[in-house]
Amino acid sequence: MNQYISDNKDRFINELMDMLRIPSVSADPKFKQDVLRTAEYVAQKLTEAGADNVELCETGGYPIVYGDKIIDPALPTVLVYGHYDVQPADPYELWHSPPFEPVIKDGKIYARGACDDKGQMYMHVKAFEVMMQNNALPCNVKFMIEGEEEVGSENLATFVKGNKTKLAADVILISDTGMLGNDTPSITTGLRGMSYLEVEVTGPNRDLHSGLYGGAVANPINILCQMIASMHDENNHITIPGFYDNVQELSQEERAEMARAPFDLEKYKQALDLTDVHGEAGYTTMERNSIRPTLDVNGIWGGYTGEGAKTVIPSKAFAKISMRLVPNQTSAEITEKFQKHFESIAPKSVRVLVKPHHGGEPVVTPTNSVAYQAAARAYETTFGVKPVPVRSGGSIPIVAMFKSELGLDSVLMGFGLDSDAIHSPNESFGVFNFMKGIETIPMFYQYYAEMSK
Ligand code: BES
Ligand code: MN
Ligand code: MN
């Protein structure tokens, strides 16, 4: 298989670059045709790789690309999940080369979606081709590649609930996470959940002269800032009543185990140009960004932000707020607690509106399953070192539903690095990582099929 991989390396990369040229931004309707074109591209490549029953499954939003190869119903079935949509590329001016004109520089492919998730998803399509061409597919496989992960996967949730037979499998396999380093492979064993909402604070019924009215009426931006600031206390605990009620505390043993994963705080600060980190008192940086819940403002606006100065008290102020959740918080519970609290702390001088967006539940995956052990052996084979289990702070909303609706655990075989800058300007994916993924995935299939016997 490795001969086939090296013989076809350039073509694999070129095909990925072709997909990266299509700006499949699911959040912005302006890119609708491009998102649809990307779905067709994925379907075509799956067919070319040897998949049967390839189709675009219509949803209330962007289609889900499905395809499978059932070699023997008696053998186990791997269901591969990934996404072909990407985050918006804004701000464009901070990119060193245009986000949808991929270039390879210093061994990395630069483009929006290079790592998250086109590059990682495409490793699976190519790994499948490699196994097909070498008569080495050892079990059944189904592909389900969606186009709305970056906007909350709501239509996929409906699709999963309605297509349980079609999606019947033994394990879910996903590459949409990262690892600690190219010398320290890791397997993600947990994802945080999410509660995302937007708030609107309204003061006077129109924008006002800030001299004539300033000091006498509430400024919605000032009020919103105060309200947001009050949601963390001096220890950076979140002050929403009941916020931590269902948070599972880890035992000292579990925390000690976590602390064994290699982490260099100085390097971490250096990479981000920070003189200090910030977070909840009593927890390490690794804990703060994985096993603890958070509340963050993702965007805040209102009033005058154009050139020069304008003296104005705005009528309205807005913010987008996300809360990352951990077991056993639920997004419905936290959204409700936030809403109640936000309304209760608003002074009478303003009116507030809370608009919930999407949510997702946190998940922890087992490390004692056959699938996890197979994945660990696969990394060990291709990297030469055992991978470390690591809980991640990111979210993939559908993973918890794979468990609750299909009864399936996921194996999160990520090959990205923090330095890939997903969601940021100049996102990249190492050619090394892309090729390593294509090498490692067939090993997973082989070990998984063997160990399932
Ligand atoms: N692939 C990421 C999630 C991720 C990245 C998990 C790295 C672990 C490590 C995914 O595409 C993503 O960005 N998810 C969103 C959630 C979604 C509801 C917008 C997130 O985590 O912000
Ligand atoms: Mn992703
Ligand atoms: Mn993402």
* 367 and 356 together in one domain: no
In this predicted structure, the answer to whether residue 352 has a pLDDT above a threshold of 90 is: yes
Ligand 1 center–CA 399 separation, angstroms: 11
Is residue 44 scored above 90 in pLDDT? yes
Q: Place 171 in a pLDDT band, splitting at 50, 70 and 90.
A: very high
Q: Is residue 278 part of a domain?
A: no
Average pLDDT over residues 362-374: 97
The residue whose CA has the least distance to atom 13 of ligand 1 is: 150
Distances (CA, A) of 129 to 39, 267, 441: 18, 39, 11
Answer whether residue 159 shows pLDDT above 90.
yes
**C-alpha distances out from residue 414 to 99, 125, 339, 375, 437, Å:** 22, 15, 35, 11, 8
Of the residues 34, 146, 148, 149, only one is catalytic, namely: 149
Q: What's the pLDDT score for residue 404? A: 96
What is the structure's pLDDT at 70? Answer: 98
Q: Are residues 32 and 132 in the same domain?
A: yes
Q: Identify the pLDDT of residue 358.
A: 85
Please tell me the distance between residue 393's alpha carbon and the centre of ligand 1 in angstroms: 9
Q: What is the pLDDT of residues 187-207, one digit of tens each?
A: 999 999 999 999 999 999 999
Q: Is the domain of 297 the same as that of 309? A: yes
**Quick one: 143 and 162 in the same domain?**
yes
Residue-level pLDDT at 314: 98
Domain membership of residue 262 (yes or no) is no
Query: Which of the listed residues 360, 395, 416 is the one where a domain comes to its end?
Result: 360
Domain co-membership, 203 together with 334: yes
Residues with CB under 6 A from ligand 1: 116-117, 149-150, 152, 176-178, 191, 194, 358, 360, 392, 394-397
| pLDDT > 90 fraction of the chain, expressed in percent and rounded | 98
Q: Of 86-90, 260-264, 375-379, 443-447, which gets the smallest average pLDDT?
A: 260-264
Same domain membership, residue 111 and residue 86: yes
Nearest CA to ligand 1 atom 5: 177
In a domain, 38, yes or no: yes
Q: Is there a catalytic annotation at residue 85?
A: yes
Residue 430 has pLDDT above 90, yes or no: yes
Question: Is 279 part of any domain?
Answer: no
**Where a domain ends, among 360, 382, 404?**
360
Ligand nearest to the CA of 27: 1
CA of 107 relative to ligand 3 center, distance in Å: 22
* 386-421 confidence digits (pLDDT tens): 999 999 999 999 999 999 999 999 999 999 999 999
**Closest ligand (CA of 153):** 1
| Final residue in a domain of this structure, among 360, 375, 398 | 360
- Assess if residue 155 is contained within a domain: yes
- Count of domains observed in the chain: 2
Residues 378 and 315 grouped into a single domain: no
Q: Of the residues 396, 424, 429, which should be mutated to test ligand 1's pocket, given the most ligand atoms within 8 Å of the CB? A: 396
Chain mean pLDDT for the chain:
97
CA 95 to chain centroid, in Å, comes to 21
Q: From ligand 1's centre to the CA of 396, what distance in Å?
A: 5
Residue 112 lies in a domain: yes
Query: What mean pLDDT comes out for the span 105-123?
Result: 98
* Protein residue with its CA nearest to atom 19 in ligand 1: 150
- Ligand 1: atom nearest CA of 116 is 1
Question: What's the domain range around 412?
Answer: 2-191+362-451
Burial of 425 (0-12, 13-18, 19+ CB in 10 A): middle
Q: Tens digit of pLDDT for each residue in 203-259?
A: 999 999 999 999 999 999 999 999 999 999 999 999 999 999 999 999 999 999 999
* Furthest C-alpha separation in the chain: 80
Ligand nearest to the CA of 415: 1
Is residue 31 located within the same domain as residue 137?
A: yes
91/214 same-domain check? no
* SS3 sequence of the chain: CHHHHHHCHHHHHHHHHHHHCCCCECCCHHHHHHHHHHHHHHHHHHHHHCCEEEEEECCCCCCEEEEEECCCCCCCEEEEEEECCECCCCCHHHCCCCCCCCEEECCEEECCCCCCCHHHHHHHHHHHHHHHHCCCCCCEEEEEEECCHHHCCHHHHHHHHHCCCCCCCCEEEECCCECCCCCCCEEEEEECEEEEEEEEEECCCCCEECCCCCCCCCCHHHHHHHHHHCCECCCCCECCCCCCCCCCCCCHHHHHHHHCCCCCHHHHHHHCCCCCCCCCCCCCHHHHCCCCCEEEEEEEEECCCCCCCCCEECCEEEEEEEEEECCCCCHHHHHHHHHHHHHHHCCCCCEEEEEEEEEECCEECCCCCHHHHHHHHHHHHHHCCCCEEEECCCCCCHHHHHHHHHCCCEEECCCECHHHCCCCCCCEEEHHHHHHHHHHHHHHHHHHHHHHC
Nearest ligand 1 atom to alpha carbon 392: 8
Could you report the per-residue pLDDT of 82-106, keeping only the tens digit for each? 999 999 999 999 999 999 999 999 9
pLDDT, position 172:
98
Of 85, 176, 361, 409, the active-site residue reads 85
Q: What CATH number has the domain bearing residue 371?
A: 3.40.630.10
Q: Are residues 70 and 147 in the same domain?
A: yes
Quick one: average pLDDT of 37-66? 98
Whether 281 is in a domain gets the answer: no
The protein residue with its alpha carbon nearest to ligand 1, atom 4, reads: 394
| Ligand 1 centroid from CA 258, angstroms | 21
Cα 182 to Cα 417: distance, rounded to the nearest angstrom: 8
CATH number at 354 reads 3.30.70.360
At 432, phi and psi to the nearest 5? -55, -45
Residue 271 located in a structural domain: no
Cα 194 to ligand 3 centre (Å): 13
Same domain, 185 and 91: yes
Percentage of the chain lying above the pLDDT 70 cut: 100
Token pair of 276, please?
A: 């200090």
Q: Are residues 160 and 200 in the same domain?
A: no
| Average pLDDT value for residue range 26-37 | 98
